[in-house]
Structure 1
Amino acid sequence: MVEKIRHQLFLPKPVSDRLEALAAKPGASKSAILTDAVTAWLNRRGASELEDRFALRLDRMTSAIGRLERDGHIQLETLALFVRYELAIQAPLAENDSAGRAIAAKRFEAFIAQVGRQIAAGRRTIVDSFGAVAESGQ
């Protein structure tokens, strides 16, 4: 048998009247109703504490994801503008310029290889380039 401790409560008249009406039903008692109500309230409070503990961390993660999304948009816009600029200033190759196309293919392969090396090494060109400029005092 569970040990029970007596508590004396003061309830507002309307709440007390509702408790009396509920306890008047067969198989109900004030103690059982109040035990259920207090247990439910404590359980909700425990869930709220758990939410409070993780809310700050979730807010920080949401902010970080927002910054990553913003940075991704900046990178894509920068790349798109660069490509548009390059296509606007570079003259197209003539159809029969096989030497020019061969040089372009080699440059493209070198570019792809460099991107692969940078990613594999975990380096970022912008950070590395601007970090070197900042350290040299330029």
Structure 2
Amino acid sequence: MRLQALAKLPGRSESQIVDQALAAYFSREYEDKRDGALIRRLDRIARQYEGLRRGQIISAEAFALFVRYFLTVIPPVDTAHKEAAKAQGQNRFEGFLDSLRTVLADGDKILFSAVDDILVDESAFFTAEELKRLHEPAPARPRKREAAADG
């Protein structure tokens, strides 16, 4: 069906299209294009993974920093006040959960909007061509004596 549709174009015939398709298939053009598409997809997945990983590390570090600060500045509670402190802690925690639900529902991510400015963009990643150039041997440098004799 696609072959017949392509053959209707001016200057095209079914046999010409089939010949071109077979030539491309046997000359590995098809595989090169497919491999290029796969590399681009894998690169995109790798960037997404790195973004997720970075976000997870930032979240974990922020949480650890908060816990360390919290444990440092909170004074111990007298035994007589423990029940009142538990009740107050429960109320505060419920308030925290309400705030978290609101932030997540609104889509306004406080931490990530603040961190977005310091994260790298896609230009910091290597392309397939740049990786190939990195693995190519460096050109030979002239020796000092040869360079002096030339000059």
2:94 aligned partner: 109
2:143 aligned partner: none
Q: Where in structure 2 are the equivalents of 1:39-78 lying within 5 Å? A: 42=26, 44-78=28-62
CA distance in 2, matches of 1:43, 1:92: 76
Distance 1:45 1:127, change over 3 A: closer
1:81 aligned partner, one-letter code: L
Residue 85 (structure 2) pairs with residue 100 (structure 1): yes
Q: Which structure carries more relative contact order (alpha carbon 8 Å, separation 6+)? A: 2
Q: How many pairs were matched up? A: 93
Q: Which has the larger radius of gyration?
A: 1
Equivalent of 2:107 in 101, 122, 134: 122
1:32 aligned partner: none
CA distance in 2, matches of 1:129, 1:46: 44
Give structure 2 stretches of 5+ with no counterpart: 1-21, 116-151
Identity %: 27
2:45 aligned partner, one-letter code: M
Q: CA shift at 1:82, angstroms? A: 1.1
TM-score (norm 2): 0.51
1:88 aligned partner: 72
Give structure 1 stretches of 5+ with no counterpart: 1-37, 131-138
CA distance in 1, matches of 2:31, 2:61: 43
